[in-house]
Structure 1
Amino acid sequence: MLPLKTYQERVLEHLENFCKLCITKGAAETAFLEYTGRSYLGIRQLPGLPYVCLRVPTGGGKTLIASHSVSIVRKEYLRIDNCTVLWIVPTNQIKEQTLKALKDRNHPYRLALESKNDGDIHVLDLQEANFTGAADYEQSTCIIVTTLAALRIEDINGRKIYESNGHLLNHFIGMSEMQKNNLEKGENGEILYSLANVLRLRRPIIIMDEAHNARTELSFDSLARFSPSAIVEFTATPQQIHEPDKGLYASNVLHSVSAAELKAEWMIKMPIYLETNNNWQDILNKAIAKRNDLEKIALNEQKQSKEYIRPILLIQAQPRSQQRENLTVEVVRQSLINDFKIPEDQVKIQTGDIKELEDIDLFNDTCDVRYIITVQALREGWDCSFAYVLCSIPDIGSATAAEQLIGRILRLPNAIKKVNDELNNAYAYVVSNQFHQTLATLGSGLIENGFTEFEAKSIIKSMGEEPNLLNLAVVHTKKVNSVPDLNKLFGNLVEKVAYKPETQEIEVKGFINEEEKEQIQKCFINDKDKTVVETIFADIKKKIGITTKNQENAWMKPTENILVPSLSFKVEGQLQIFEDIHFLNAQWDILKYDAKLDGTSLTQIEDKSRLGKIEVDTKGNIEYRFIEELHEQLSYLVTDKEWAEEELIFWLDRNVEHQDISQAKFVVFVHKIIKDLVENQKMELKKIVYYKFNLRDKIKVLINNYRKKARKENYQTALLSESITVDESKTFTFNPEIYPANWAYTGRYKFNKHYFSEVGELKESGEEFDCAVYLDSLPEVKYWFRNLERQPLYSFWLQTSTDKFYPDFVALLEDGRILVVEYKGEPWSQTLDSDEKNVLGKFWSERSDGNCLFIMATKDNLGKIAELVRKRK
């Protein structure tokens, strides 16, 4: 199975935590507010429904994460053994690709689905689902892959899923009154034996893959007809504006992944080098030359790393036109063959009409394809990480076109850093006489692929001598006195300029040149508003202009790595970074501890489901008991036979992680728990099986508490052993180009000594910010950086008895010593956790023989940082 990247694991961890919180809090709104600190934005058609968004930029592996998410939602939220999933994708092309991947038992997506699933997996399209009986749903997890358009009743195929179908009759036998009341009926009042009703009965999880057009009233109406249990949206560009009166519904973003996190895991090619030229054959010639150079480098790469790469050049031709002679796909193909002597078998066309890539495996080392010509067909669904070079013959005129094309060259083959750095980058050649405008448009395209404005600025670089003016999708807004006549605009300005009547503002997006400024001015009659346009143009020039002052203040990439000695443990003469495996080992014996649980606690959460679906609070507001009602309905679908104790233990063995406990000892421990519940607490085994998900949770908590006790005992022994040392031969190495911050500092204060180009995960005010400013001002500090939480591969950490401790700041001093600072606010400065971290940090410092310094700082003792660094060892 394809291993998950660190950021992918974190996405799934956030989803799992939210699902658990929904259960304990009983409502998605409460859980979301507590987890994120933001209000939950509900949908009128789906009251109470958990509908959350996980934002992952293009190239981040959204579908792999989505595949893993199914078992998380099933186990932690639905708490059932098998579930129904409605997997919705944006286009038919992506639907076919997704179906093929999920049905392939060797594909990483299918393996991810199966990895934490107890039963079989059935992957279906809508037609197959219309003939699938109840037994398949009861004994396996059924995943129906479709598009949103196909679910709308206006669609001729979509209409069939709302009609009675005799093949589905056995789904509706033996229903409870509650189930019957939830189903759609025909004109005669009879229940429709439709696929839509099968879904309403099964309460599907909806996986929304790239919900570009899914957040509309019409879409919500369609989704509500299936009575979903939860919706998890995976997208690079979640809707940000929430104005339901205008038909705009913002996504409830649970977690966002940054471009820096993707780059650190070598998921995407960065940077993208751009070159423009007004002559299409010149620019094509340069693109071909670049591809040829990359192939030579790739051959060398294969000798060094054994990895096969055949760089591909994507060429966007012009569409056919009745009005003028265009550079169509055929014209470009003939130019490649006749003018550049490219062998014909290396060139393929992929358009809406011509599909020469079908049934070709571009990754096969026997494949000769090196050039692919398209117009728009590669925009969505097509993916080949061998695509390194993009050549756009029509000027990329809109952010949408740029977004869809630039996304095709972002992925890095095999998500592995290449030995030759040229293969870690991508290259774009565009026919254009306006470099800055093309730069801005490509930047806007990156933003549409899920990157922030700051990230987009750092990704695109000039290939030639052009200045790196990377204010890509900056929006300039000014109030005007009259309504402009925007019908006078033409070309790219149509997309760049907008008027907001509600605020009487004109909005200009990205870079404009002198000629475009004059175009905009012609949209106004009075001189005052023309002056406003002049002001906007001046602001843009100021924004992108690189002055001497800007160069002085600009971040200069350090030329040295920072090496921070780790707390190390000697194992058979070899140094290893000290972590939990060195003290949580065979000495940890679960059978030393009591195997007892309170049986009455097993039923507490489920008993809440006997509450009504809707209640009225003390203020007269309606409260939807969505989750309780959901679990009650799902309970009618459970068809467990009478389980023997051995079957329950086997189920718990699969559903409780216990890598540090042998299976034999785990089985004995769980057997003792069940025996106590049955013999001493007089619980029937059937009832224990019914509440098996609660039993699983209670066992997890019990084992984890015992684990903590064992950790503390063994941890102290390990720390006092002679095997613990701090040695400069075993270090955390920091490279100025790799810093996977999830979000960046955006405050006005400009830091001068931060080691990385951006300050990660630091708020623009507060006590930690004050500490950062203090570090930045110390003359003894050469570089410092914000140490990122929970990034074990890219941050400095020390192992505590329970987890990894990530101090807030790390600094390299001018004399070569290392300073580590953990900042604690007043409420947390005197806790047991803080005491353990303080002792551990000082222990690490002492073992370094004065080469490393540690201090736990508070707002009242920042001055002690200076005292510490000025002491000599």
Structure 2
Amino acid sequence: MELLPYQQQVLDDLADFLRHLEQRGNLKDAFQAFWHQRSVARPEPYQQSIPRVPHVCIKVPTGGGKTFIAANAIHTVFEALNIYRRKAPRAVVWLVPSNAILDQTLNALSDPGHPYRRKLDSLFSGRVAVYAKDTLLQGAGFNAAAVHEQLNIFVLSYASFRTGNKEGRKAYQENPNLDGFVRQMDPAEVLAETDESALINVIRSMKPLCIVDESHNARSKLSLEMLENFNPGLILDLTATPRTKSNIISYVDAAQLKTYHMVKLPVIVYNHRSAKEVVSNAIQLRNNLEKQATTEKEAGGDYIRPIVLVQAESKTGKEDRSTFEDIKKRLLHLGIAKEEIAIKTAKINELKNQDLLSPTCPIRYIITVNALKEGWDCPFAYILATVANRHSQVDVEQIVGRVLRQPYARRQHQNLLNNSYVLASSADFLGTLDKIVAGLNQAGFSRRDVRAAEVAEPSTEPDAEQGQESGGSRGTVSQPGLFDVPLTPQDSETKGAAQSLAPLETTPLEKTDEGNGQGNLPPGGLDNAADNLVAGMLEHAEAQSRKYEEQAGQDNAQGIAEEVREKMHDFTISGPFQEQLAALRLPRFYIRVPGMSLFEDTFLLNKEELLKGFRLGQADSRIDFQTIRDDAYQIDLEEVGDHDYRPSFWKLGSTTRERLVEYLIALPPESRKQQVARRLCDLIGNMYPIADQEVKKYVRRIFEDMSSEQIHDCLEREYSYRDKIKAKIRELAAEYAETLFYQWLDADKILLQEDYILPDSIHPLETAPAVPKSLYEAEGRLNNWEAKVINEVANLDNILFWHKIIERKGFCINGFLNHYPDFLIRTRNGTTLLLEAKGDDRDNSDSARKLKLGRAWAAKAGNAFRYFMVFDSKEVEGAYRLEELLTVVGGL
């Protein structure tokens, strides 16, 4: 199981924040610098919950893979912490809010065959131990020697360490099973009024990473006290709905989840006139979806058996079995087989020992109230049918997220299988929609992820008072209660009411003339009117799904979460240029992949693809370290800012460092080399996409021939050695990727496709002075040379507009490196220019590579695209001086 791009971005954000913290040593400053680097002009101030402990949050909607991200984040965090702390074991306190999620997480992390555990084993060389609280209290397989040799994960519930209950107090009591840990403890870190051997003190001594799942449930005073008692090195919150005062460092947007087929969006909502109609249409809709799923399977696709969650109405907050039985009778009456129906409530569990994903499982309908609200995920759940009296309050908030996960995290060819559905019957449709949106909010989504319609045609079935059922060729059934609700005049007055609910797509559904002939109901189970109505629902769902996917693709291209955008400068395209941009598509490099069909597939080129065959362990390991002998690298960070924000552990103290050097020098020569090589690998950290094992092999080779004097010098200047080695690795990787890129380009394995659309708005942190003909209302900051160049170019008569490309955020030429030219320029005759402006003081080794790449891009793109590099006075082959550039560009 590999990380999806948005999941990798979350880890990159976390690593970047930790780098800012390393450089500044101050939480407040690091947090602000982190967001300024992302063009957020008005970041929220850092909120200190526990003095001197970094406490950050990641926002991931339901279905986005929070647990998998967290498993990978453990490695990212310990890469940073290992630079500063060498003796403490690698320990993780993984906190969850409920027993259901506790069991789910514990099983996933403990099972050697589960993807989460396999990933942890890969990251930590198979040395991973996972403990529940009972195991820790008993000391079973948990001892002072073993914890230093492995990653230790303690999966605990919030309540299990809160001192306000009996179960929580066990962790604060004397425990002879843990006496072996006492000798390793610093007495100063023992919690007041507790015995040294108490489990809480054992965990405190490890200074663990605390991962707080569903962290919005852990914001109370008691919860923060519990977290502080763990003496954490860092706290990482995971939630779909961060509370105020959360220090969010990464947002995952719903558009990204849709793009990578993690969720079924949009949620298509239909309002009906009665509970009977909800059930009837849920059956017909489900049958249509199953027919499409069968078609998908026959074409070689996945097995999917769409499931309806029938949400019963709660009777004064109590579980009423008669309500569930009424629904079950209704389903049976409409031809549903008994074995296809299961009830799951707080007291009844007919899902026990059922594998809902198995092709042998018959269940297609699950009747519940809100027992599935957490710790339960079945991607075959497609339809939430809320069954309540017409004028009852509909409480869907806790369960609407249960239908969101996409089966197999793959897009299905039958597009209706890529959406989820909610069917309700409410006189207050707007109020019901508000509750559905509230449920989506709890899952990390928003109003834009919903499309709603009112089923407003008059009913063709007789009133329930007359004792007849929908489509009733099976005779009459007397069922007082849930389904015997007489229709009232106001039931038909809601037609079109939802149309005013902006920004949802809300339209009344009209009955279609022809049914689609799908479904497998028995004769007489539903009449033609119901069949036609469902056909209209499906047609509406198809249209809304396509519209949503188009919008999600645009949002994803921007790469900016809705919450972040509010805190950024926002400059839109100037009015005169909007029409000219409608057809502009910038070419990017794609890799050609021969398909199994008559057509070829392509995907966007990235450097990772070029480095798949790179073997760093076998590359040149000669590095000149003589140039750093006089380098006085500053180990201790300068004291800055408010000391309350400064993490106490975030630098290696001089005394600790001296002891570490003495220890390493005292080792035998071979052991010393191994330990120092390992230390340098820790400092180098992740060099994705180069595998950690390749980096380790390479570093070991560097140290093989080092003398004792060189090893000692490395210990004295380890950061300088680290920088030298990383620079060498980057250079070797760049050379390999460049060579392969041009080979593939010559072999037509790489081609250009015009696909990049300029965004409607940009968000620079700092803006440029006014220069005529700028594309946006304001452009990003310019240095003196850039300002001079673009002012001269913009004043040429043939220039239509110009745009300052923002580094790492705007358009790039995606070759063996991602080259972001300084400017995009458009001439009046439709020629598009990319221009890199290099001041003489800013020339670097990448200039020649960028120039060669840019010219290769222009050659492949055709005559409508050009690339130029301009210097002030330096002579660089293939580049222009400014006066030469103006002559060439002025003639286009």
Q: TM-score, normalised by structure 2?
A: 0.68
Give the C-alpha shift of residue 629 in structure 1.
7.8
Does the C-alpha gap of structure 1 residues 869 and 606 become closer, same or farther in structure 2, counting only changes over 3 Å?
closer
| Residue of structure 2 in register with 1:305 after alignment | 300
- Which digits, 9 at most, give the CA deviation of each residue in 1:133-187, with x for residues without a partner? 2233222222111221221111111011011111111110254xxx10110243x
1:471 matches 2:502? yes
- Which digits, 9 at most, give the CA deviation of each residue in 1:497-537, with x for residues without a partner? xxxxxxxxxxxxxxxxxxxxxxxxxxxxxxxxxxxxxxxxx
Aligned residues: 720
The question of whether the paired residues in 2 share the 8 Å contact of 1:568 and 1:726 is answered with: no
Give the C-alpha shift of residue 844 in structure 1.
1.7
Distance 1:398 1:137 in 2: 56
The question of whether the paired residues in 1 share the 8 Å contact of 2:7 and 2:69 is answered with: yes
Give the C-alpha shift of residue 30 in structure 1.
2.8
Give the C-alpha shift of residue 699 in structure 1.
5.9
| Residue of structure 1 in register with 2:859 after alignment | 846
Does the C-alpha gap of structure 1 residues 593 and 630 become closer, same or farther in structure 2, counting only changes over 3 Å?
closer
Distance 2:502 2:748 in 1: 44
| Residue of structure 2 in register with 1:460 after alignment | 451
Distance 1:605 1:400 in 2: 63
Give the C-alpha shift of residue 105 in structure 1.
1.0
Q: TM-score, normalised by structure 1?
A: 0.69
| Residue of structure 2 in register with 1:644 after alignment | 671
**Partner SS, residue 234 of structure 1:** strand
Give the C-alpha shift of residue 285 in structure 1.
0.8
Give the C-alpha shift of residue 841 in structure 1.
3.7
Which aligned pairs between 1:675-754 and structure 2 lie closer than 5 A? 675-676=705-706, 678-680=708-710, 682=712, 701-710=723-732, 724=745, 730-732=751-753, 734=755
Give the C-alpha shift of residue 18 in structure 1.
1.8
Which of 44, 58, 61 is matched with 1:57 structurally? 61
Which aligned pairs between 1:19-168 and structure 2 lie closer than 5 A? 19-37=18-36, 38=43, 40-43=45-48, 46-79=50-83, 80=86, 82-118=89-125, 120-132=127-139, 133-168=143-178
Give the C-alpha shift of residue 331 in structure 1.
1.5
Give the C-alpha shift of residue 276 in structure 1.
0.4
Which aligned pairs between 1:403-422 and structure 2 lie closer than 5 A? 403-422=397-416
- Which digits, 9 at most, give the CA deviation of each residue in 1:624-680, with x for residues without a partner? 551248979999999999882575488579866677699799747634436436244
Which aligned pairs between 1:589-668 and structure 2 lie closer than 5 A? 590-591=619-620, 593-594=622-623, 596=625, 624=646, 626-628=648-650, 644=671, 647-648=674-675, 651=678, 667=697
Does the C-alpha gap of structure 1 residues 819 and 623 become closer, same or farther in structure 2, counting only changes over 3 Å?
closer
- Which digits, 9 at most, give the CA deviation of each residue in 1:331-379, with x for residues without a partner? 21121112x1211111111111111212211111111111111101111
Does the C-alpha gap of structure 1 residues 602 and 307 become closer, same or farther in structure 2, counting only changes over 3 Å?
farther
Distance 2:628 2:150 in 1: 30
Does the C-alpha gap of structure 1 residues 372 and 276 become closer, same or farther in structure 2, counting only changes over 3 Å?
same
Letter in 2 for 1:703: I
More deviation, 637-646/671-680? 637-646
1:211 matches 2:215? yes
Give the C-alpha shift of residue 126 in structure 1.
1.3
Letter in 2 for 1:804: N
| Residue of structure 2 in register with 1:670 after alignment | 700
Distance 1:89 1:661 in 2: 32
| Residue of structure 2 in register with 1:192 after alignment | 196
The question of whether the paired residues in 2 share the 8 Å contact of 1:577 and 1:730 is answered with: no
- Give the share of equivalent positions with the same residue, in percent: 26
Which aligned pairs between 1:212-361 and structure 2 lie closer than 5 A? 212-240=216-244, 250-321=245-316, 328-338=323-333, 340-361=334-355
The question of whether the paired residues in 2 share the 8 Å contact of 1:83 and 1:142 is answered with: yes
Does the C-alpha gap of structure 1 residues 568 and 868 become closer, same or farther in structure 2, counting only changes over 3 Å?
farther
| Residue of structure 1 in register with 2:519 after alignment | none
**Partner SS, residue 273 of structure 1:** strand
The question of whether the paired residues in 1 share the 8 Å contact of 2:61 and 2:254 is answered with: yes
**Partner SS, residue 18 of structure 1:** helix
Distance 1:114 1:594 in 2: 33
Gaps of 5+ in 1: 241-249, 475-554, 736-753, 858-864
The question of whether the paired residues in 1 share the 8 Å contact of 2:395 and 2:435 is answered with: no
Does the C-alpha gap of structure 1 residues 593 and 269 become closer, same or farther in structure 2, counting only changes over 3 Å?
same
Does the C-alpha gap of structure 1 residues 808 and 457 become closer, same or farther in structure 2, counting only changes over 3 Å?
farther
The question of whether the paired residues in 2 share the 8 Å contact of 1:590 and 1:661 is answered with: no
Does the C-alpha gap of structure 1 residues 346 and 717 become closer, same or farther in structure 2, counting only changes over 3 Å?
closer
Give the C-alpha shift of residue 416 in structure 1.
0.9
Distance 2:851 2:390 in 1: 56
The question of whether the paired residues in 1 share the 8 Å contact of 2:263 and 2:406 is answered with: yes
Letter in 1 for 2:723: V
**Partner SS, residue 309 of structure 1:** coil
- Which digits, 9 at most, give the CA deviation of each residue in 1:269-302, with x for residues without a partner? 1222111013001011111111111111001111
More deviation, 643-652/418-427? 643-652
Distance 1:839 1:275 in 2: 57
**Partner SS, residue 591 of structure 1:** coil
The question of whether the paired residues in 1 share the 8 Å contact of 2:776 and 2:803 is answered with: no
Does the C-alpha gap of structure 1 residues 845 and 114 become closer, same or farther in structure 2, counting only changes over 3 Å?
same
**Partner SS, residue 157 of structure 1:** helix
1:17 matches 2:16? yes
Distance 2:769 2:442 in 1: 33
The question of whether the paired residues in 2 share the 8 Å contact of 1:90 and 1:212 is answered with: no
Give the C-alpha shift of residue 8 in structure 1.
0.1
The question of whether the paired residues in 2 share the 8 Å contact of 1:443 and 1:457 is answered with: no
Gaps of 5+ in 2: 37-42, 457-495, 506-577, 595-599, 780-797, 871-884
Distance 1:568 1:324 in 2: 58
| Residue of structure 2 in register with 1:369 after alignment | 363
Letter in 1 for 2:375: G
Does the C-alpha gap of structure 1 residues 395 and 790 become closer, same or farther in structure 2, counting only changes over 3 Å?
farther
Which of 428, 444, 453 is matched with 1:450 structurally? 444
Does the C-alpha gap of structure 1 residues 763 and 671 become closer, same or farther in structure 2, counting only changes over 3 Å?
closer
Distance 2:408 2:827 in 1: 38
Give the C-alpha shift of residue 765 in structure 1.
9.8
Letter in 2 for 1:430: A
Letter in 1 for 2:266: P
The question of whether the paired residues in 2 share the 8 Å contact of 1:786 and 1:809 is answered with: yes
More deviation, 645-654/283-292? 645-654
Distance 1:781 1:334 in 2: 74
Give the C-alpha shift of residue 394 in structure 1.
3.2
**Partner SS, residue 105 of structure 1:** coil
Does the C-alpha gap of structure 1 residues 734 and 432 become closer, same or farther in structure 2, counting only changes over 3 Å?
farther
**Partner SS, residue 850 of structure 1:** coil
The question of whether the paired residues in 2 share the 8 Å contact of 1:275 and 1:430 is answered with: yes
Letter in 1 for 2:11: L
Letter in 1 for 2:448: K
Distance 2:79 2:149 in 1: 16
1:566 matches 2:561? no
Distance 2:739 2:215 in 1: 53
The question of whether the paired residues in 1 share the 8 Å contact of 2:345 and 2:371 is answered with: yes
Give the C-alpha shift of residue 806 in structure 1.
5.4
